[in-house]
Amino acid sequence: MSRTRRPWLFPASILVALLLGLLPLPAMLLPLRPYWLALVLAYWLLEDHERVGLGLAFMIGLLADIAFGSLLGEQALRLTVITFILQRFRPQLRFYPMAQQALAIGGLLLNDQVIVTAAHFVLGQPSRGWMPWWTPLIGAALWPPLFVLLDGLRVGRKHSG
Protein backbone atom coordinates (compact mmCIF):
# COMPACT_ATOMS: atom_id res chain seq x y z
CA MET A 1 0.00 0.00 0.00
CA SER A 2 1.23 3.49 -0.77
CA ARG A 3 -0.05 6.94 0.07
CA THR A 4 -2.08 8.68 -2.59
CA ARG A 5 -1.64 12.36 -3.35
CA ARG A 6 -4.87 14.33 -3.58
CA PRO A 7 -4.03 17.90 -4.64
CA TRP A 8 -7.73 18.68 -5.13
CA LEU A 9 -8.60 18.00 -1.48
CA PHE A 10 -7.39 21.30 0.00
CA PRO A 11 -9.30 23.59 -2.40
CA ALA A 12 -12.34 21.28 -2.30
CA SER A 13 -12.42 21.34 1.51
CA ILE A 14 -12.13 25.15 1.56
CA LEU A 15 -14.98 25.38 -0.98
CA VAL A 16 -17.16 23.03 1.08
CA ALA A 17 -16.40 25.11 4.21
CA LEU A 18 -17.43 28.27 2.32
CA LEU A 19 -20.64 26.59 1.17
CA LEU A 20 -21.41 25.41 4.72
CA GLY A 21 -20.98 29.03 5.81
CA LEU A 22 -23.57 30.07 3.21
CA LEU A 23 -26.02 27.26 3.94
CA PRO A 24 -29.41 28.72 4.85
CA LEU A 25 -30.36 28.12 8.49
CA PRO A 26 -33.38 29.14 10.53
CA ALA A 27 -32.88 32.62 12.03
CA MET A 28 -32.72 31.12 15.52
CA LEU A 29 -29.74 28.90 14.56
CA LEU A 30 -27.76 31.46 12.54
CA PRO A 31 -25.75 32.76 15.53
CA LEU A 32 -24.77 29.16 16.35
CA ARG A 33 -23.22 28.41 12.94
CA PRO A 34 -19.73 26.97 13.45
CA TYR A 35 -16.84 28.81 11.82
CA TRP A 36 -16.27 26.09 9.23
CA LEU A 37 -13.50 27.93 7.42
CA ALA A 38 -11.47 28.22 10.62
CA LEU A 39 -11.96 24.53 11.40
CA VAL A 40 -10.93 23.37 7.93
CA LEU A 41 -8.00 25.79 7.80
CA ALA A 42 -6.90 24.60 11.27
CA TYR A 43 -6.81 21.02 10.02
CA TRP A 44 -4.60 21.94 7.07
CA LEU A 45 -2.34 24.09 9.22
CA LEU A 46 -1.76 21.23 11.64
CA GLU A 47 -1.44 18.37 9.17
CA ASP A 48 -0.05 19.87 5.94
CA HIS A 49 1.33 23.25 6.96
CA GLU A 50 3.31 23.81 3.76
CA ARG A 51 0.04 24.48 1.92
CA VAL A 52 -1.18 27.35 4.09
CA GLY A 53 0.49 30.59 5.06
CA LEU A 54 -0.65 33.98 6.27
CA GLY A 55 -1.08 35.31 2.72
CA LEU A 56 -3.29 32.42 1.62
CA ALA A 57 -5.35 32.65 4.82
CA PHE A 58 -5.82 36.37 4.14
CA MET A 59 -6.91 35.70 0.53
CA ILE A 60 -9.35 32.97 1.63
CA GLY A 61 -10.69 35.45 4.19
CA LEU A 62 -11.23 38.12 1.53
CA LEU A 63 -13.05 35.57 -0.61
CA ALA A 64 -15.19 34.70 2.43
CA ASP A 65 -15.88 38.40 3.06
CA ILE A 66 -17.21 38.72 -0.46
CA ALA A 67 -19.16 35.44 -0.32
CA PHE A 68 -20.69 36.12 3.12
CA GLY A 69 -21.31 39.81 2.50
CA SER A 70 -19.47 40.72 5.68
CA LEU A 71 -17.39 43.80 6.28
CA LEU A 72 -14.48 43.61 3.83
CA GLY A 73 -11.46 42.41 5.76
CA GLU A 74 -13.28 40.92 8.77
CA GLN A 75 -12.93 37.28 7.71
CA ALA A 76 -9.44 38.01 6.39
CA LEU A 77 -8.38 39.37 9.78
CA ARG A 78 -9.96 36.46 11.63
CA LEU A 79 -8.36 33.76 9.48
CA THR A 80 -4.97 35.52 9.50
CA VAL A 81 -4.94 35.67 13.31
CA ILE A 82 -6.01 32.03 13.56
CA THR A 83 -3.29 31.04 11.07
CA PHE A 84 -0.63 33.01 12.95
CA ILE A 85 -1.51 31.39 16.29
CA LEU A 86 -1.67 27.89 14.80
CA GLN A 87 1.64 28.32 13.00
CA ARG A 88 3.22 29.44 16.26
CA PHE A 89 1.91 26.52 18.32
CA ARG A 90 1.76 23.83 15.62
CA PRO A 91 4.65 21.72 16.98
CA GLN A 92 2.86 21.29 20.30
CA LEU A 93 -0.76 21.09 19.11
CA ARG A 94 -0.05 18.50 16.46
CA PHE A 95 0.85 15.88 19.03
CA TYR A 96 -1.87 16.59 21.59
CA PRO A 97 -4.44 13.84 22.12
CA MET A 98 -7.68 14.54 20.24
CA ALA A 99 -9.54 15.77 23.35
CA GLN A 100 -6.78 18.30 24.12
CA GLN A 101 -6.67 19.37 20.47
CA ALA A 102 -10.43 19.97 20.58
CA LEU A 103 -10.01 22.12 23.70
CA ALA A 104 -7.21 24.08 22.03
CA ILE A 105 -9.35 24.62 18.92
CA GLY A 106 -12.20 25.74 21.18
CA GLY A 107 -9.84 28.26 22.82
CA LEU A 108 -8.73 29.47 19.41
CA LEU A 109 -12.36 29.93 18.35
CA LEU A 110 -13.08 31.75 21.63
CA ASN A 111 -10.21 34.11 20.81
CA ASP A 112 -11.83 34.58 17.39
CA GLN A 113 -15.12 35.57 19.06
CA VAL A 114 -13.25 38.16 21.12
CA ILE A 115 -11.73 39.60 17.92
CA VAL A 116 -15.12 39.73 16.17
CA THR A 117 -16.79 41.37 19.16
CA ALA A 118 -13.99 43.92 19.52
CA ALA A 119 -14.04 44.74 15.80
CA HIS A 120 -17.82 45.19 15.81
CA PHE A 121 -17.57 47.39 18.92
CA VAL A 122 -14.83 49.59 17.44
CA LEU A 123 -16.77 49.96 14.19
CA GLY A 124 -20.02 50.77 15.98
CA GLN A 125 -21.78 47.64 14.73
CA PRO A 126 -24.76 46.41 16.76
CA SER A 127 -24.06 43.78 19.41
CA ARG A 128 -24.51 40.21 18.22
CA GLY A 129 -25.83 39.09 21.60
CA TRP A 130 -24.70 36.13 23.65
CA MET A 131 -25.61 33.24 21.28
CA PRO A 132 -22.44 33.45 19.11
CA TRP A 133 -20.39 32.79 22.25
CA TRP A 134 -21.57 29.15 22.02
CA THR A 135 -19.83 28.65 18.65
CA PRO A 136 -16.38 27.91 20.13
CA LEU A 137 -17.92 25.05 22.09
CA ILE A 138 -19.71 23.80 18.97
CA GLY A 139 -16.46 24.07 16.98
CA ALA A 140 -14.57 22.13 19.66
CA ALA A 141 -17.22 19.40 19.55
CA LEU A 142 -17.03 19.25 15.74
CA TRP A 143 -13.22 19.12 15.68
CA PRO A 144 -12.73 15.35 16.26
CA PRO A 145 -15.17 14.14 13.56
CA LEU A 146 -13.98 16.80 11.10
CA PHE A 147 -10.35 15.90 11.76
CA VAL A 148 -11.03 12.19 11.26
CA LEU A 149 -12.98 12.87 8.03
CA LEU A 150 -10.32 15.13 6.48
CA ASP A 151 -7.49 12.90 7.66
CA GLY A 152 -9.17 9.86 6.14
CA LEU A 153 -9.51 11.69 2.83
CA ARG A 154 -5.97 13.11 2.92
CA VAL A 155 -4.13 9.98 4.02
CA GLY A 156 -6.26 7.59 2.00
CA ARG A 157 -4.39 4.55 0.81
CA LYS A 158 -4.15 3.06 -2.62
CA HIS A 159 -4.40 -0.72 -2.58
CA SER A 160 -1.89 -2.49 -4.72
CA GLY A 161 -3.48 -5.39 -6.35
Residue 161 lies in a domain: no
| 83 lies in some domain | yes
| pTM as predicted | 0.91
Would you say residue 1 lies in a domain?
no
Closest CA to 120 of 8, 31, 7, 53: 31
Domain tally, the chain: 1
How high is the pLDDT of residue 6? 83
| Domain presence at residue 62 | yes
Residue by residue, pLDDT tens for the chain (161 residues) are 445 678 899 999 999 999 999 999 999 998 899 999 999 999 999 998 888 999 999 999 999 999 999 889 999 999 999 999 999 999 999 999 999 999 999 999 999 999 999 999 998 988 888 899 999 999 999 999 999 999 999 987 655 44
Assess if residue 40 is contained within a domain: yes
Residue 139 within any structural domain of the chain: yes
Residue 160 lies in a domain: no
The rounded distance, in Å, linking the Cα atoms of 82 and 16 is: 19
Full domain range(s) for residue 126: 7-23+32-155
Q: Residue 158 gets which letter from DSSP?
A: E
Is residue 2 one of the residues assigned to a domain?
no
